[in-house]
Amino acid sequence: MQMLLSLPFTVGKKALKIWAGIGDFGRYCLSIALSFKSLRYLRFRSLYVIVINQTRFTGIDALNFVVLIALIIGATVIIQATTNLPKFGTEGFIGNLLVIIVARELGPLITALIVISRSGSAIAAEISTQKQNQEILSMEIMGIDTRLYIVFPRILASILSIFSLIMIFDLTAFIGGYVIARSTVYIAPEAFLQTLVDAFSLKDLLATLIKSIIYGTLVPLICCYYGFKASSKFEVPIFVSRAVIRTLFTIIVVNVVISILFYF
Amino acid sequence: MDDTLLSIEHLSCDIGSHDPLVDINISLARGENAVFFGPENSGIETLMLFLLDIDDRYEGVIRYKNTDIREFDYIGKHNYRREIGYVHGMYGLISNMSVEDNISLPLEYHSTMSQKEIKRLVDRLIYELNLDYCKKLRPVDLSNSEALRTSYARAIVMDPELLIVKHAFEGQSPLNIRSFMDNLKERASRKDKSLIIVTYEPEKFIDFSDRFIMIFNGRVVFDGNRESYLDSENRYLVQYKEGSPAGPMAIL
Instruction: Name residues 166-185 of chain B within 8 A of A (Cβ).
Output: none
Best B109, B119, B151, B157 member to test A by mutation, with max A CBs in 10 Å, is B109
**How large is the average pLDDT for residues B19-24?**
92
Closest-CA distance of chain A to residue B115, Å: 9
Task: Give residue B2's pLDDT.
Answer: 67
- Choice between B76 and A1, residue whose per-residue pLDDT is larger: B76
Second CATH level (architecture) for the domain B1-83+163-252: 3-Layer(aba) Sandwich (3.40)
Whether the pLDDT of residue A36 is over 70: the answer is: yes
**Higher-confidence position of A251 and A204:** A251
Q: Which residues contact A205 (CB under 8 A, 6 or more apart)?
A: none
pLDDT, one tens digit per residue, over A138-180 is 998 888 888 888 999 999 999 999 999 999 999 998 888 778 7
Q: Tell me the mean pLDDT in the region B160-179.
A: 86
What is residue A81's predicted lDDT score, i.e. its pLDDT?
Answer: 82
The nearest CA of chain A is from the CA of B244 a distance in Å of 33
Number of C-alpha atoms within 13 angstroms, CB side, residue B31? 6
User: Are B79 and A134 inside 8 Å of each other by CB?
Assistant: no
**Residue A9 pLDDT exceeds 90:** no
Query: Cβ–Cβ of A41/B110 closer than 8 Å?
Result: yes
Distance CA B192, CA B11 (A): 26
Q: Are A166 and A107 in contact (CB under 8 A)?
A: yes
Per-residue pLDDT at A37 exceeds 80: no
Question: pTM for this one?
Answer: 0.83
Of A41-45, A141-145, A251-255, B204-208, the range with the lowest mean pLDDT is: A41-45
| Across B140-146, average pLDDT | 92
What are B89-100's pLDDT values in tens digits? 888 999 989 999
The pLDDT assigned to B252 comes to: 67
CATH 3.40.50.300 residue spans of chain B? 1-83+163-252
- B88 contacts in A (CB within 8 Å)? 134, 138
pLDDT of residue A164: 94
| Pairs of residues, one from chain A and one from chain B, whose beta carbons lie less than 8 Å apart | 77
Contact map slice: B 39-68 vs A, CB within 8 A: 52, 54
Model confidence at B171, pLDDT cuts 50, 70, 90, reads confident
Residue B1 has pLDDT above 60, yes or no: no
A152 in contact with B, Cβ within 8 Å? no
* CB nearest to B86's CB, from A37, A53, A141: A141
- Please tell me which of the candidates A41, A46, A134 has its beta carbon nearest to residue B108: A46
Q: What are the beta bridge partners of residue B87?
A: B165
B111 at the A interface (CB within 8 A)? yes
Spatial contact of B131 and B150, defined as CB atoms under 8 Å apart:
yes
Whole-number Å distance between alpha carbons of A154 and A178:
35
Tens of pLDDT, residue by residue over B41-56, are 899 999 999 999 888 8
